[in-house]
Structure 1
Amino acid sequence: MKNNKVIKSSFLVMIFIILGKIFALVRDSLIAAKFGATYITDIYNFALGMVYLLTTISYGLTTTFIPIHTELLENKDKNKRNNFVNNVLNVFTIGTIILTILMIFFSKEIIYVFGHGFKNDAAVFNTSVKITRIMLLSLIFISLQSVVTGVLQAHKEFYEPSAMALVSNIVYILYLVFFTARYGIIGFAVATVVAFFMQFLINIPKYKKLGYKYSIYMELKDNRMKQMFRLSIPVIISTSVIQLNAFVNRAFATNIYYGAVTVLDCANKINTLAYEVFAIGIAMIVYPILSELAVKGDMNGYKRSLQRSINIILLIMVPAAVGIALLREPLINVIFKRGAFTEEAAKLTSQALLLYTPAMIAYGVRDILNKAFYSVKDTKTPMINSFIGIGINVIINIVLIKYMGVSALTLATTISSIIITILMFNKLSKKLEGINTKDIVVVFFKIVFASLIMAVVIIMVNKFFISKLFYGFKRDVLSILISTLLGGIAYAISIFILKVDEINDVLDKFISKAKK
């Protein structure tokens, strides 16, 4: 396998993800303008967090589905692969429908326990119950989508899965522009369900083109499905713990002040900008590659691909974290500060975001490490580390929330994510009998040094040029654009001088695309 396989496969995927994030920024800007940082957006974000918490079941099954399905693809038995896919699809969907009905029935009790800040006002509580019940219907489409996208990724077809966010954000934007005044937040909850349905729908044409046909086939005793469910339990637990971590943060936030959940969510959205564009795309592509190498027993190739993937993640995420930390105020002003989103809300979001940014680097590396463990069918290690992470997070929340408010929640997330990422890396290195840690550490320090040079350029540009010549919204926009351009150039030159090999892969790929 060629060393720049990940870069080549990632190019168009990242284009789709970037477009999705651009539309997401438009969506978030419209949400802030229409609803502000109020109890209404707190309720929506809480309900959406509950949906994401439950989607970890889908994620766990998809994660373990891919390596098992990859083995079937290697055997080239179309009948067995179709039966396996339909079996998983039918059993999983029926299970999801049952779970959705139960969650809707007990939604009052769930909100009373986890969203206890909402119970102080009857109108707020009743609205939260109604919105949560509507949005839980999304789970059915998420379960269908997860199996279909798992099939596509096993075939190394990434374009449709990477375009899902773009499609769903178009649905959100259309609603926010044309229907918010008439239907409000209740209608937006319905639009969320429609958005998840559209994510499922866009994958169907490619799914059919690959030769898959739906049939009412169910076999609960199928050995492969038993293996998949057995392996998926630790994955579901570990990813549920990660989402539960975010859910716990929201629960803490409901007791700080109305709007705290929204401040936390806005800080998180900006912090994960680069992570969702690059890290998720690379992790999506590297997983089936690692799974294939593990099935073939090519552990040298496996280690090389893993090391290169980690270096590429660091190459992108470290400067992104530094840049977002430095430009957090103009970013918040441009994306959120308008309409009902006040100056005070922008200030609180900025404070929370500063302590969030280092977590972005840990998130990116952690995702690659998770995929590495899953590709060799070790699902227990990520689960154990997730429990450690949430324990650390809760303890820091309890100790610091009194003194730091929402910022305590973001600091706790950062500390816990860094600790569990280091623990996972050490564990994986032992499992694989050594990863080239020295090379990764050397590359990391080169990247940090280049990012510091970039930081100096950004600070100088803003202090001696932007802040003196421009004001208001124009200043914020130009600060982001010019800082990104000049800081990016300084970073790229520094990385090139420092001879980080992965930058050559990136440059070669862009040059070849430009020539075409």
Structure 2
Amino acid sequence: MAEKKLIKSSIIVMLFIIGGKVLALVRDSLIAAKFGATYVTDIYNFALGMVYLLTTISYGLTTTFIPLNSEHIENSTISERNKFVNNVINIASLFTIVLTAVLIIFSKQIIYVFGHGFTSNSVIFAQSVEIIRIMFLSLIFVTLGSVVTGVLQSHKRFYEPAAMAFVSNLVYIVYLVFLTSRYGIKGFAVATVIGFFAQFVINLPRYRKLKYRYKFILDFKNSDVHQMFKLMIPIVISTSVVQLNLFVNRCFANNIYFGAVTVLDYSNKVSTLAYEVFAIGIAMIVYPTLSELAVKKDVVKYKKSLISAINTIMIIMIPASVAIGVLRDPLINLIFRRGAFTAQAANLTSSALLFYCPAMIAYGVRDILNKAFYSVKDAKTPMSNSFVGIIINIIINIIIIKYMKVSGLALATTISAVITTLLMMWNLNKKLEGMNIRKLVLSFVKIVCSSAIMGIVIYVINNFCMNKISSIMQQSMISIFISFVFGSVVYFICLYFTGLEEYRNLINGLKNKITR
């Protein structure tokens, strides 16, 4: 019964995530149409990148808060539980307010250092300062939301947190459709702050149903708070470095040409679409299982669950990477090529997307490996690995940017992601004294071969559509739809004949559900 409930919850959560991603594509399409690939979108994406870089603190807060609050749920009274939560809210909010004030005061200096390309023109510089100051206000709602979502997840309530992106994207779309012509990019910055506020508010009804009530409590000496912030440090550093990697790429792109940041950002968003929908969800589901098996010290089942999770990620991410790489032109044309987003911008974005595609496979596997390290209470290895990744990325960026421009930045990210993922695999294999690498390699070869055959079929279909259909939008839609249908069939047939264990288990599970 519990397994059925878990499956049902996972499906609903996945639907919310997919809905949020669909709206995100609509949002990005509208942004491209309204503002194009210009300095205006560069300013917005730069400011949003700064916000996301700082939200890693909130991610660390949520990650460390959940097990501690779960312990309070199990062992403490409602009053003690509320006291702990309110103390965390107040301390985190106080820190965020001070940080936000400092960032707003030093906004000009931040842009001089990290967005120097905006300083060449006084009007552009003034606009970038104004936008980034507005966007920094989002941090307050991000912090509040991180604690509230942590409360919900510790009670195994996932629907509202999963719907957060869906709600905020609705806010953005309403603004872009009805208010852009009147208030421009400045109004969109305000809408972004409102979107983060909406993410926080959507969790409050469930939060109150769980009998949480706000009281002003500020106790810096609390032992639970000390433990939480101590655990946060390596996780925040690790996650911050990942975001910093993206931010470094934006800084390099900012000095190429106006619009380069937008091209880089849009290509990255499309490449990580499948990763964010499926890989993050799988990592979230497998984490409690790995943690439980680690506590029980059941090494055999732990390794089996870990290998199964990695293989499942590869089953999804490898064909997705191949398909997106082959269909990059119709995908970019369909999503972005309209209004102010020109054919040249679409071609540049498509080129960068090709070099981003392999990274999504590495990201998916790396997420599982990170969760594996966290489950055995090792946060230092992912942290040090993240530092290695950013160093590799910066070195390759410096070497390759002269020759490949934005596409070079995408390639550097991919190379860095692949190297760091392999290093993580090596470290975990050493820590676990062997984790059946041979099985992983064999599975990888089977999935790559099946994906390659699928890629050939999709390539033929796409070429046929481009030659036979004159309208760019029609050929893009038809090519993507037919490629998805026939490509999926070909891939699953090929995968079936490889005899991959995880795929056979999936098929058998579906057969059992149908027969019931």
Which TM-score tier does this pair reach, normalised by the shorter chain? over 0.9
Provide the residue aligned with 1:473 in structure 2: 473
- Give deviations 1:187-207, integer Å, cap 9, x for gaps: 000000011111111122222
Is contact 1:6–1:309 with CA below 8 Å preserved after alignment? no
Provide the residue aligned with 2:339 in structure 1: 339
Is contact 2:323–2:455 with CA below 8 Å preserved after alignment? yes
Does residue 374 of structure 2 align to residue 377 of structure 1? Answer: no
Provide the residue aligned with 2:276 in structure 1: 276
Quote how far apart the aligned CAs of 1:507 are: 4.5
Is contact 2:286–2:309 with CA below 8 Å preserved after alignment? yes
Gap change, CA 1:176 and 1:478, over 3 Å in 2: same
Query: Is the deviation greater in 155-164 or in 432-441?
Result: 432-441
Partners of 2:73 and 2:307 in 1: CA distance: 26
Partners of 2:4 and 2:429 in 1: CA distance: 22
- Give deviations 1:158-194, integer Å, cap 9, x for gaps: 2221111111111110000000010000000000001
Q: Secondary structure at the match of 1:405?
A: helix
Partners of 1:98 and 1:31 in 2: CA distance: 32
Gap change, CA 1:442 and 1:209, over 3 Å in 2: farther
Provide the residue aligned with 1:100 in structure 2: 100
Q: Secondary structure at the match of 2:124?
A: helix
Amino acid at match of 1:500: L
Provide the residue aligned with 1:121 in structure 2: 121
Does residue 429 of structure 2 align to residue 432 of structure 1? Answer: no
Provide the residue aligned with 2:27 in structure 1: 27
Partners of 2:157 and 2:286 in 1: CA distance: 12
Structure 2 counterparts to residues 143-154 of structure 1, below 5 A? 143-154=143-154
Partners of 2:412 and 2:5 in 1: CA distance: 36
Provide the residue aligned with 1:489 in structure 2: 489
Q: How many residues align?
A: 516
Provide the residue aligned with 2:261 in structure 1: 261
Quote how far apart the aligned CAs of 1:502 are: 2.6
Gap change, CA 1:58 and 1:348, over 3 Å in 2: same
Q: Secondary structure at the match of 2:55?
A: helix
Gap change, CA 1:261 and 1:379, over 3 Å in 2: same
Gap change, CA 1:465 and 1:28, over 3 Å in 2: closer
Is contact 1:156–1:288 with CA below 8 Å preserved after alignment? no
CA RMSD between the two structures: 2.3
Quote how far apart the aligned CAs of 1:236 are: 1.1
Gap change, CA 1:143 and 1:293, over 3 Å in 2: farther
Is contact 1:67–1:291 with CA below 8 Å preserved after alignment? no
**Structure 2 unaligned blocks of 5 or more:** none
Gap change, CA 1:72 and 1:303, over 3 Å in 2: farther
Is contact 1:280–1:364 with CA below 8 Å preserved after alignment? yes
Partners of 1:465 and 1:184 in 2: CA distance: 37
Provide the residue aligned with 1:40 in structure 2: 40
Query: Is the deviation greater in 157-166 or in 177-186?
Result: 157-166
Provide the residue aligned with 1:60 in structure 2: 60
Amino acid at match of 2:443: V
Quote how far apart the aligned CAs of 1:378 are: 1.5
Amino acid at match of 2:346: A
Query: Is the deviation greater in 242-251 or in 367-376?
Result: 367-376
- Give deviations 1:26-60, integer Å, cap 9, x for gaps: 11110000000000000000000000000011111
Is contact 1:9–1:285 with CA below 8 Å preserved after alignment? no
TM value normalised by structure 2: 0.95
Quote how far apart the aligned CAs of 1:261 are: 0.4
**Structure 1 unaligned blocks of 5 or more:** none
Quote how far apart the aligned CAs of 1:296 are: 4.6
Partners of 2:461 and 2:122 in 1: CA distance: 51
Partners of 1:2 and 1:449 in 2: CA distance: 37
Partners of 1:70 and 1:167 in 2: CA distance: 27
Q: Secondary structure at the match of 1:109?
A: helix
Quote how far apart the aligned CAs of 1:352 are: 0.8
- Give deviations 1:399-429, integer Å, cap 9, x for gaps: 1111110111101100011111111122122
Amino acid at match of 1:344: Q
Partners of 2:357 and 2:227 in 1: CA distance: 38
Provide the residue aligned with 1:83 in structure 2: 83
Amino acid at match of 1:255: N
Give the percent of matched residue pairs that are identical in Structure 1 and Structure 2: 63
Quote how far apart the aligned CAs of 1:87 are: 1.9
Is contact 1:373–1:382 with CA below 8 Å preserved after alignment? yes
Is contact 1:89–1:144 with CA below 8 Å preserved after alignment? yes
- Give deviations 1:43-81, integer Å, cap 9, x for gaps: 000000000000011111212222333344454654443
Provide the residue aligned with 1:170 in structure 2: 170
TM value normalised by structure 1: 0.95
Partners of 1:436 and 1:74 in 2: CA distance: 36
Is contact 2:279–2:364 with CA below 8 Å preserved after alignment? yes
Gap change, CA 1:505 and 1:12, over 3 Å in 2: farther
Gap change, CA 1:222 and 1:466, over 3 Å in 2: same
